[in-house]
């Protein structure tokens, strides 16, 4: 597959080069530059309301043309999602160079940007209409909960590279900004249905209406049903369930220069998840293996560690667990749930796989209100307030929390004379948590708690049945954050624009920080723009990484009980804890870019970057560790409209990362995407999408899993009728019947199968 990847990239480069050469010869003497022609062509395709209300937002704190932004910006529009056969917005990220989008089980999606940790934590900032949606407990984003119906989506702006000087903490490897349409743009009714051959279903309905000449509203509902898939071992994933959402928006013009928006939504998800206990019951493979400290033995050649006899027998399973789970008939474990022998610990072959399924419900709701306007002296401003409640339960590990959050945000920007533009703002956040943990039934058997060892050891007091997998305990539950930013942009000449600014934050979680950023762009001519940037960005460690103790495994002590070994034949609970001393991850980011449009039909972009990160947090036994990480890479993308009937887009990214000087293998070095839209007739389009992903290893405290490189091919047809019907039929993952992609680090023990599927989509606008 590596040879195939190299061939894919070579063909891509040759093809792009030939297009570039052809396009250069097509220059004309029009007063409009190729960038301006392409933007004009796009705007002419919009109806009046879209044209009047479509901003092109930059990265400098104010609106500007997309092609002028001094950053790697990719804009996804609704048609990019529907024409490529994507179900959710997150699926469309596969078409963005530098973004690594993967699937775990049926309802889990993971996104990583620019090789900054291939773990489940998202190290970029995601916003939906200005509302930050990162879940602070685990540092993740629930993409299903935050997704919106396609007919209300205006665009998704993806800024690759740090944007902390504007957006603040967690805008480390990039910013994803999801923007919905003004309710005046969604008048009438629309229905979208998606049916997959495995039984997965999505249906959404949107209704918009007008109250008065200056007041509009919409309401919407969505239902998504998940079918059950398989884990890579062949066992049932038990990932069936549903996600249901509803929302509304009201927009009113308060005057010629002032608008008011009030919106909200509710989401609920009901799915199951499994805890595989057998993969967490371990046995030493070497009698001299340094297993765990024994405070009752003096230091010796083994470092004061408990000696292990080589002839001890491993118990089949704790009787209480065997009785509770009715072990007969449970399939044997697979190779994917066995610790590598190199760790000195194994999960012996004789132990059956013990899957414990629990509910994993999640409910979330939010409200937002925003007033925005522009003054006579051209000061654009907005004041927004947000309120959220999220209730999440991870039943398979007995961990749950409710989060309440209130945010107030002010932003403004103003041109100063003919050559300067100032953007500034301030925000306040209050967040509180109610955290609970219980011990799930398979985990509730007598275990020695080494955390309460004392000089006088009492085995009866140390044997516990109430040790949860995740224990938050009495850690802090209330947090506040105050922040402000200022960004100044100036035209040094007709060709050079220089921008500098900083975000100032004071947080209960991470203290005070200043995150500066500098950008400069140079317009060589009407066809070429170069830019360079430096940013200092911070990523805030999650609450799990800071405060939670993780009991990741239990190890059998095979030695006989005696005076110097009070443990005897017992299970030993092993855990590692987060640390409130973890500072923010601090990244120094450097970027160079070149964007060229030799004609209005072709756009090419090249970006190169280098990140140097201090105190990056990585999980895994025996502790949460901090490391220095360096990441270097680049991305090449193109957008080519070969004719009125044929549109090609593609990208290639290469990156490599080192953690404490050692090469990282948790992120694919090479990724590529290529999509072709060819109109067979005016209303019938043939779609081809090709995705290549290099190999990697899923990091895990339990069971690192190698993922081979894979090539994905999607084919489809979309038929658009004159009476507002759109019908699409797609085949996805056509080259392989199935392949694995990802899983939750340290909670799952094997990923699900991403299987070949066939999809029918039907959209109707009334």
For the chain, give every domain's residue range: 2-276+359-439+478-545+580-765
| H helix and E strand count, the chain | 9, 42
Which is higher by pLDDT, 511 or 595?
595
| Dihedral, 562, 564, 568, 571 alpha carbons, nearest 10 | 170
What is residue 50's predicted lDDT score, i.e. its pLDDT? 45
Q: What's the CA gap between 430 and 403, in Å, rounded?
A: 11
Give me 570's structure tokens.
């017992």
CATH class of 2-276+359-439+478-545+580-765: mainly beta
Q: What's the CA gap between 371 and 380, in Å, rounded?
A: 11
How many C-beta atoms lie closer than 10 Å to residue 696's C-beta?
A: 22
b/e burial code for range 459-491 (CB count within 10 A of at least 16 → b): eeebebeebbbbbbeeeeeebebebbbbbbbee
Q: What's the CA gap between 38 and 27, in Å, rounded?
A: 13
Q: What percent of the chain has pLDDT over 90?
A: 48
Q: How confident is the model at residue 375 (pLDDT cuts 50, 70, 90)?
A: very high
What is residue 29's predicted lDDT score, i.e. its pLDDT? 40
What is residue 559's predicted lDDT score, i.e. its pLDDT? 62
Closest CA to 164 of 424, 630, 503: 503
Which is higher by pLDDT, 565 or 434?
434
- Report DSSP state, residue 50: H
What is residue 638's predicted lDDT score, i.e. its pLDDT? 95
pTM: 0.85
Q: Are 152 and 187 in contact (CB under 8 A)?
A: no
Q: How confident is the model at residue 340 (pLDDT cuts 50, 70, 90)?
A: very low
Pick the range with the lowest mean pLDDT from 49-58, 337-346, 525-534: 337-346
How many C-beta atoms lie closer than 10 Å to residue 399's C-beta?
A: 24
β-bridge pairing 125-128 and 174-180: parallel
**What mean pLDDT is reported for the chain?**
81
What is residue 710's predicted lDDT score, i.e. its pLDDT? 95
Pick the range with the lowest mean pLDDT from 403-417, 444-458, 486-500, 601-615: 444-458
Cα atoms in the 13 Å half-sphere on the side-chain side of 213: 2
The answer to whether residue 546 scores a pLDDT higher than 80 is yes
Which is higher by pLDDT, 665 or 574?
665
Question: Of 138-147, 165-174, 177-186, 341-350, which one has max mean pLDDT?
Answer: 177-186
pLDDT by residue (tens digit) across 404-451? 999 999 999 999 999 999 999 999 999 999 999 999 877 887 888 766
Q: How confident is the model at residue 335 (pLDDT cuts 50, 70, 90)?
A: very low
Which is higher by pLDDT, 324 or 16?
16
Q: What's the CA gap between 395 and 592, in Å, rounded?
A: 46
Q: What's the CA gap between 26 and 42, in Å, rounded?
A: 20
DSSP 285-314: SSTT---SB-TTS---TT-SBPP--TTPPP
What is residue 315's predicted lDDT score, i.e. its pLDDT? 37
- List residues bridging with 338 in a β-sheet: none
Q: What percent of the chain has pLDDT over 70?
A: 76
Q: Are 507 and 479 in contact (CB under 8 A)?
A: yes
Closest CA to 36 of 736, 597, 723: 597
pLDDT mean over 551-559: 73
b/e burial code for range 178-204 (CB count within 10 A of at least 16 → b): bbbbbbbbbeeebbbebbbebebebeb
Q: Are 707 and 104 in contact (CB under 8 A)?
A: no
pLDDT mean over 343-369: 72
What is residue 25's predicted lDDT score, i.e. its pLDDT? 41
Q: How confident is the model at residue 548 (pLDDT cuts 50, 70, 90)?
A: confident
pLDDT mean over 523-528: 91
Pick the range with the lowest mean pLDDT from 33-47, 117-131, 424-438, 453-467: 33-47
């Amino acid at each position: 597959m590596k040879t195939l990847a190299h061939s894919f990239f070579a063909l891509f480069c040759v093809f792009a080069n030939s297009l570039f050469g052809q396009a250069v010869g097509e220059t004309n003497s029009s007063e409009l530059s190729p960038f301006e022609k392409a933007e004009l062509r796009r705007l002419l395709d919009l109806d009046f309301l879209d044209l009047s209300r479509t901003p092109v937002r930059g990265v400098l704190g104010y609106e500007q043309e997309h092609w002028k932004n001094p950053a790697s910006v990719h804009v996804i529009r609704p048609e990019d999602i529907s024409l490529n056969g994507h179900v959710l917005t997150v699926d469309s990220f596969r078409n963005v160079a530098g973004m690594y989008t993967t699937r775990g089980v049926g309802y889990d999606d993971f996104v990583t940007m620019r090789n900054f940790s291939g773990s489940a934590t998202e190290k970029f900032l995601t916003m939906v209409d200005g509302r930050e949606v990162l879940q602070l407990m685990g540092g993740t984003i629930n993409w299903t909960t935050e997704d919106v119906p396609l007919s209300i989506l205006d665009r998704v702006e993806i800024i690759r590279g740090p944007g902390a000087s504007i957006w603040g903490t967690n805008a480390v490897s990039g910013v994803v900004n999801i923007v919905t349409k003004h309710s005046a743009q969604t008048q009438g009714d629309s229905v979208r249905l998606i049916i997959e051959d495995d039984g997965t279903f999505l249906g959404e309905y949107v209704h918009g209406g007008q109250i008065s000449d200056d007041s509009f509203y919409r309401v919407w509902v969505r239902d998504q049903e998940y079918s059950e898939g398989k884990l890579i071992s062949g066992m049932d994933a038990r990932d069936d369930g549903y996600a249901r959402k509803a929302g509304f928006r009201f927009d009113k013009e308060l005057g010629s220069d002032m608008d008011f928006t009030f919106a909200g939504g509710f989401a609920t998800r009901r799915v199951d998840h499994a805890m595989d206990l057998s993969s967490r019951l371990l046995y030493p493979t070497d009698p001299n293996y340094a297993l765990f400290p024994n405070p009752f033995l003096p230091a010796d050649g083994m470092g004061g560690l408990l000696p292990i006899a080589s002839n001890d027998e491993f118990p089949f399973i704790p009787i209480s667990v065997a009785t509770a789970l009715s072990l007969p008939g449970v399939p044997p474990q697979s190779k994917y749930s066995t610790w590598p022998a190199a760790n000195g610990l194994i999960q012996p072959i004789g132990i059956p796989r013990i899957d414990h399924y629990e509910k994993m419900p999640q409910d979330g709701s939010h409200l937002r209100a925003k007033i925005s306007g522009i003054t006579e002296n051209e000061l654009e401003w907005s004041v927004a307030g947000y309120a959220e409640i999220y209730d999440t339960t991870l039943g398979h590990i007995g961990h749950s929390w409710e989060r309440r959050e209130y945010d107030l945000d002010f932003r403004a920007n103003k041109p100063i004379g003919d050559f300067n533009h100032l953007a500034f703002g301030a925000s306040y956040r209050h967040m509180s948590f109610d955290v609970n943990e219980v011990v799930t039934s398979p985990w509730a058997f007598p275990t020695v708690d080494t955390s309460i060892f004392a000089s006088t050891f009492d085995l009866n007091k140390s044997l516990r049945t109430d040790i949860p997998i995740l224990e938050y305990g009495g850690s802090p539950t209330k947090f506040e954050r105050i922040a402000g930013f200022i960004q100044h942009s100036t035209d040094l000449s007709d060709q050079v624009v220089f921008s500098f600014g900083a975000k100032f934050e004071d947080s209960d979680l991470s203290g005070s920080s200043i995150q500066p950023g500098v950008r400069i762009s140079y317009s060589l001519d009407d066809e070429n723009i170069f830019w360079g940037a430096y940013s200092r960005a911070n990523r805030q460690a999650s609450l799990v990484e800071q405060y939670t103790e993780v009991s990741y495994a239990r190890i059998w002590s095979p030695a006989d009980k005696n005076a110097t070994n009070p443990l005897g034949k017992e299970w030993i609970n092993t855990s590692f804890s987060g640390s409130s001393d973890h500072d923010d991850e601090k990244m120094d980011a450097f970027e160079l870019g070149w964007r060229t449009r030799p004609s209005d039909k072709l756009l090419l972009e090249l970006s190169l970057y280098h990140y140097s990160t201090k105190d990056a947090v990585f999980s895994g036994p025996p502790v949460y560790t901090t490391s220095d990480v360096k990441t270097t890479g680049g991305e090449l993308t193109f957008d080519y409209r070969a004719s009125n009937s044929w549109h090609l887009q593609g990208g290639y990214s290469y990156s490599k990362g080192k953690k404490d000087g050692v090469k990282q293998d948790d992120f694919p070095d090479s990724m590529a995407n290529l999509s072709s839209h060819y109109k067979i007739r005016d209303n019938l389009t043939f779609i081809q999408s090709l995705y290549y992903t290099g190999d990697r290893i899923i990091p895990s405290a339990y069971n690192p899993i190698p993922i081979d490189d894979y090539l994905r091919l999607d084919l489809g047809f979309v038929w658009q009728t004159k009476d507002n019907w759109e019908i699409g039929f797609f085949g996805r993952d056509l080259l392989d019947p199935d392949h694995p992609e990802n899983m939750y680090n340290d909670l799952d023990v094997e990923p699900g199968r991403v299987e070949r599927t066939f999809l029918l989509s039907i959209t109707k606008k009334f």
